[in-house]
Structure 1
């Protein structure tokens, strides 16, 4: 029986499990991750404003893995040997006949003084810190921003930052406290949100103007200090700093012969095959893939790549030529606590629909439907 190892327990890894189990029923599947749980990161935007708790977003996977017939190894990955056939972990070596890497990326905390900011997409604990800080503030200045990886511009998380920004604004207004706060949005980009398309950029800037959010755009970041954001265009005083830095590859990649992009990710082709390695695939934030410069690193794209990777590995194990590819598609609802703006983009079209309550409830409905398959 072929043995397949999948690394991670996020969107890419779990989609790979479902796709492989459907396409290769006689395959022995092993999932390697520190914990048998899925953290639904898109829902972090609602933790600071009380729409979600950490327990709402932390999904135990034991039942799902049992239904899928998957063995879980609770371990950290430390390296890769024998051309990808041996995965090195803190629980020992795991041999495989095929490997899918879906372990995600990591944030580049290289700016001086990063300890003075909160990285809201880092996890549940970070989102809860923001919630607690907001509840304890009588007023003040909140500065929120993001940056990218200069060597791989697509490796950024801009969308969630806009959601934290607009969501906190809406939250303070509902509490009748907004007039006591100044909100500032900062980023080195001159046109933030450009990957969403020109219409989205205009819409986001118009929304910030309407909400009275001050902007500080196009200035390279120098670092952070207690209650201060430092840029080449001046300093911003802030009582609370939320910042999402650019992304790069996981630390364990450094202990392998995996081919790397300039930005630190695993190089792959349009079939999600890792360059120069046999039956080794990558999906989601771990990889650097061919496509337009706006191709997103988001959950939806990770799912599309994982489906292609798993289908191709199943074909290889069955002696067939792998032919599946992923479509490049950006699909998101930029939520603002009680309403959302829909943005859809592919290689032919770019659709932007203005914020409305329907899209907020669609986003919540999608969360329920998506998580239902893992509960």
Structure 2
């Protein structure tokens, strides 16, 4: 029996499992990840206000793996051997007939003093740390920002930072404490959210102005301290810093012969095949894919890539050529705890719907629906 190995139990890895099982009930699936759980990152934005907690975000996968007849190996991955046919872990080496790499990306943490900042998308503990820090503050300066990987334009995750920014503003107003805090949004980019489109940039900046949020844009960052953010264009006070660095590839990629992009990701073609490999695919944040600079690193894009890769894996195992491609699409709701702005973009154009209560509710409902399939 043919064996497909999947590395990672995030959005992309689990979508690959579901897609394979829809097409083939018999093929053996082995999935390697440190824990049998899915962390639903989009809901982290509601943790600081108490609108979401661990039960809403961390979903156990034991039942899902049993339902899908998946062998789960609880381990990190340390490298590959035998041209990808062998996955090396601290607890053993596992063979495969085809491999899907869905192990996510790694935040670049080279900025001096970055230990003074909280990186929200590192998981639940980071979001809880934000919650606890804000709760303990009587007032002060909060700085929220992001940067990218200059060698990999798509390897950034800025959207959630707008949500933490607007969400904290909404939360502090609801608590009657907003007048005690100064909020500053910062990024080296002169136009924050440019990948969402020009109209989105205007909308985001207009929303910041309306909420009395200061901006510090277009200046390369030099350093963080426990009391300020320092850039080439000046510095400003910060008692709490929330910062999302750009992303690069996993450290275990160094222990492989896989082709890498200049930014450290695995180089893939439009079929999600890693360049110059046989039956090795990559999906989600781990990969560098052909497409426009605005192509996002987000769960929706990872799902689209995983569905295409899973179908291609089954085809190549059946002796056919890979032929399934993925739609390039940015789709998100920029939430602010009580309202949300819908943004979408494709190669043909984009759509923006003004912030409203309905979009906030839609994001909540979508999260419930999405997670239900893994329970």
Counterparts of 1:171-250 in structure 2, within 5 Å, are 171-250=171-250
Per-residue deviation, 1:161: 0.2
Verify the 8 A CA contact 1:330 1:345 in the aligned structure 2. Answer: yes
What does residue 306 of structure 1 align with? 306
CA distance in 1, matches of 2:254, 2:359: 41
SS of match in other structure, 2:215: strand
Per-residue deviation, 1:322: 1.8
Per-residue deviation, 1:321: 2.2
CA distance in 1, matches of 2:73, 2:126: 26
Q: Deviations over 1:99-145 (max 9, x none)?
A: 00000001000000111111111110010000001111111110011
Verify the 8 A CA contact 1:228 1:238 in the aligned structure 2. Answer: yes
Per-residue deviation, 1:223: 1.2
Verify the 8 A CA contact 1:144 1:161 in the aligned structure 2. Answer: yes
What does residue 281 of structure 2 align with? 281
TM-score, normalised with respect to structure 2: 0.99
CA distance in 2, matches of 1:90, 1:51: 38
Counterparts of 1:36-185 in structure 2, within 5 Å, are 36-185=36-185
Q: Deviations over 1:122-175 (max 9, x none)?
A: 110010000001111111110011000010111101100000000000000011
CA distance in 1, matches of 2:19, 2:281: 14
CA distance in 2, matches of 1:225, 1:41: 27
Per-residue deviation, 1:217: 0.3
What does residue 253 of structure 1 align with? 253
SS of match in other structure, 1:25: coil
Verify the 8 A CA contact 1:187 1:218 in the aligned structure 2. Answer: yes
CA distance in 2, matches of 1:219, 1:55: 39
CA distance in 1, matches of 2:350, 2:91: 46
Per-residue deviation, 1:24: 2.3
Task: Determine if the alignment matches structure 1 residue 315 to structure 2 residue 329.
Answer: no
Per-residue deviation, 1:224: 0.6
CA distance in 1, matches of 2:154, 2:331: 15
SS of match in other structure, 1:160: helix
What does residue 366 of structure 1 align with? 366
CA distance in 1, matches of 2:5, 2:11: 16
Per-residue deviation, 1:356: 0.1
Q: CA RMSD in A?
A: 0.6
Verify the 8 A CA contact 1:271 1:308 in the aligned structure 2. Answer: yes
Per-residue deviation, 1:228: 0.9
Per-residue deviation, 1:332: 0.1
Per-residue deviation, 1:246: 0.3
CA distance in 1, matches of 2:313, 2:24: 9
Verify the 8 A CA contact 1:9 1:31 in the aligned structure 2. Answer: yes
Q: Deviations over 1:184-216 (max 9, x none)?
A: 001000000000001100000000000000000
Query: Please, which runs of 5 or more residues in structure 2 have no aligned partner?
Result: none
Per-residue deviation, 1:55: 2.6
CA distance in 2, matches of 1:140, 1:77: 42
Verify the 8 A CA contact 1:74 1:91 in the aligned structure 2. Answer: no
Query: Please, which runs of 5 or more residues in structure 1 have no aligned partner?
Result: none
Q: For structure 1, which segment, 213-222 or 320-329, has the greater mean C-alpha deviation from structure 2 after superposition?
A: 320-329
CA distance in 1, matches of 2:37, 2:241: 29
Q: Deviations over 1:46-85 (max 9, x none)?
A: 1111110123201000000000000000000000011110
Q: For structure 1, which segment, 66-75 or 317-326, has the greater mean C-alpha deviation from structure 2 after superposition?
A: 317-326
Q: Deviations over 1:312-367 (max 9, x none)?
A: 00011112222100010000000000000000100001111110000000000000
Structure 1: which 4+ aligned runs deviate by more than 3 Å? Answer: none
